[in-house]
């Protein structure tokens, strides 16, 4: 209910501002047809999340797509209204005539093209490769690790999406796979309805698939979700560790929303010196503490780099490493901007990605 209330409030504000802007600048926006279409699309943003369980899958998906695209359209419409207002004030101060209609038309055309491009981008992930060499592995030891975060299986991203992800991961021929949280989007029933989780059982990683929980993984019966993941051959690490191949130690934390302190990562660090120690932490917030505790590699996700441009201006302020790779003392930290998306099926910031980590001995 909190998610629905939040989205409803945001949708109302964005929709109201945008409606006023379009009415002022376009004749078609003054018609009753436009008003009722606008009202339907705005209401669907919340309505798509409260559809009955018996709703046919194609209706659920269509409603979800409309909802997501509408959020992106409203967001950029508000930015357009703000930009237009700033230019208008500038024209008054500098005493030049502003072609209001042309500016609004050009802005609307750009928004539509930008969202179309962002939608294409959201479903065309990139492969990012990171090379790491360490003294902590025996000579000649090599591991190929695939890191994926923020899959967000749910109303939009379903079975075919999961199959495509598995195909892309298996094509990298990994030794092990790390999932850095938010495998679930909102409700387990959406995953069950489309059997979206079962393709992940076909991940081909001889040394296993390991996951930590993200904030979304707690939204609906987290214990059941863990059982479903583990039935799909994914080992869930919630403030626990596992030794792999007698050389790697993989630890996973409960998400920051449930575990804000550092006591658990410190407790799990007692034998870090004996292994190459990897910490999976969904939100990139504990890099300094992990470095001090002797971890060698810290992997995270969550940020989506803001997902919609220019939101990375915010994520860069929120996190020490909202994307990419950095050293924290002797520890390497890698933050992924995610594979999936939340809300709009649109990514106009950095493209979604799969990260391949080639870990080898020095």
Predicted TM-score (pTM) of the model is 0.93
- CB neighbourhood size of 241 (10 A): 20
Q: Which helix (H) or strand (E) holds 300?
A: strand 297-300
Domain end point (choices 106, 121, 136): 121
How many other C-beta atoms are found inside a 10 Å radius of the C-beta of residue 82? 12
Domain boundary among 121, 139, 157: 121
Whether residues 286 and 177 fall in one domain? yes
Per-residue pLDDT at 48:
86
Say if residue 132 is in the same domain as residue 115.
no
> Could you say which DSSP state residue 318 is in?
H
Say whether both 84 and 200 belong to one domain. no
Quickly list DSSP for 143-187: EEEEEE----BSSSS-HHHHHHHHHHHHHT--SEEEE-S--B-S-
Q: Tell me: do 350 and 300 sit in the same domain.
A: yes
- Whether residue 297 is found in the same domain as residue 148: yes
Q: How many angstroms separate the Cα of 12 from the Cα of each of 9, 32, 35, 79, 107? A: 5, 19, 14, 15, 22
Q: Considering its fold, how many domains does the chain have in total? A: 2
The structure tokens listed for 314 are 């915010």
- In whole angstroms, what is the distance from residue 347 CA to residue 355 CA? 17
**Domain end call among 98, 121, 144:** 121
Q: Is the pLDDT of residue 247 over 90?
A: yes
Cα 133–chain centre separation: 28
Least confident stretch, 2-6, 106-110, 166-170: 2-6
* Contact in structure between 330 and 291 (CB atoms under 8 Å): yes
Clarify whether residues 181 and 307 are in a common domain: yes
Angle at 246 between CA 241 and CA 250, to 5 degrees: 25
105 band by pLDDT with thresholds 50, 70 and 90: very high
The alpha-helical segments, DSSP class H, found in the chain are 2-25, 32-47, 57-94, 100-122, 159-171, 188-194, 222-230, 263-267, 287-292, 312-318
**CA–CA gap between residue 248 and residue 253 (Å, rounded):** 17
pLDDT in tens, 221-239: 999 999 999 999 999 999 9
Q: To which residue do tokens 């001889």 refer?
A: 206
pLDDT tens digits, 294-341: 999 999 999 999 999 999 999 999 999 999 999 999 999 999 999 999
> Do 192 and 215 share a domain, yes or no?
yes
Q: Report whether pLDDT(245) > 80.
A: yes
Find the CATH number of the domain harbouring 272: 3.60.21.10
- Give the domain extent around 53: 2-121
Q: Are both 224 and 311 inside the same structural domain? A: yes
Q: Which two tokens stand for residue 38?
A: 């606008």
Q: Taking residues 109-124, what's their average pLDDT?
A: 98
Place of tokens 């989780």: 197
Answer yes or no: do 7 and 101 share one domain: yes
Same-domain pairing of 113 and 143: no
Confidence class of residue 288 from pLDDT cuts 50, 70 and 90?
very high
Rounded mean pLDDT of 197-214? 98
One domain for residues 196 and 277: yes
Which of helix, strand or coil describes residue 333? strand
Backbone angles phi and psi of 354, in degrees to 5: -115, 135
Note whether 276 and 152 are same-domain residues. yes
As a whole number, the mean pLDDT across the chain is 95
């Amino acid at each position: 209910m909190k998610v629905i209330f939040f989205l409803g409030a945001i949708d109302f504000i964005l929709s109201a501002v945008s409606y006023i802007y379009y009415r002022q600048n376009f004749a078609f926006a003054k018609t009753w047809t436009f008003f009722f279409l606008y009202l339907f699309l705005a209401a669907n943003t919340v309505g798509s999340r409260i559809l009955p369980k018996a709703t046919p899958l194609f209706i659920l998906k269509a409603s979800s797509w409309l909802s997501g695209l509408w959020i992106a359209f409203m967001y950029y419409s508000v930015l357009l209204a703000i930009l237009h207002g700033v230019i208008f004030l500038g024209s008054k101060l500098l005493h030049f005539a502003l072609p209001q209609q042309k500016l609004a038309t050009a802005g609307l055309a750009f928004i539509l093209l930008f969202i179309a491009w962002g939608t294409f981008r959201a479903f065309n992930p990139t492969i990012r490769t990171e090379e790491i060499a360490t003294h902590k592995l025996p000579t000649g030891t090599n591991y190929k690790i695939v890191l994926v975060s923020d899959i967000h299986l749910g109303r939009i991203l379903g079975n075919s999406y999961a199959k495509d992800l598995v195909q892309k991961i298996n094509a990298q021929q990994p030794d092990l796979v790390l999932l850095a949280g938010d495998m679930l989007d909102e409700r387990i029933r959406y995953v069950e309805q489309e059997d979206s989780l079962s393709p992940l059982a076909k991940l081909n990683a001889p040394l296993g698939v390991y996951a930590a929980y993200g904030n979304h993984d707690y939204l609906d019966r987290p214990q059941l979700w863990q059982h479903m993941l583990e039935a799909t051959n994914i080992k869930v690490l919630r403030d626990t560790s596992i030794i792999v191949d007698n050389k790697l130690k993989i630890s996973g934390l409960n998400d920051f929303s449930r575990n804000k302190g550092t006591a658990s990562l410190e407790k799990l660090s007692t034998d870090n010196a004996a292994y190459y120690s990897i910490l999976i932490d969904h939100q990139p917030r504990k890099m300094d503490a992990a470095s001090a505790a002797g971890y060698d590699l810290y992997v995270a996700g969550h940020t989506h780099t803001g997902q919609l441009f220019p939101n990375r201006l915010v994520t860069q302020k929120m996190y020490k490493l909202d994307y990419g790779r950095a050293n924290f003392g002797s520890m390497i930290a890698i933050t992924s901007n995610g594979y999936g998306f939340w809300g709009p099926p649109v990514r106009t910031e950095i493209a979604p990605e799969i990260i391949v980590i080639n870990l080898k001995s020095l």
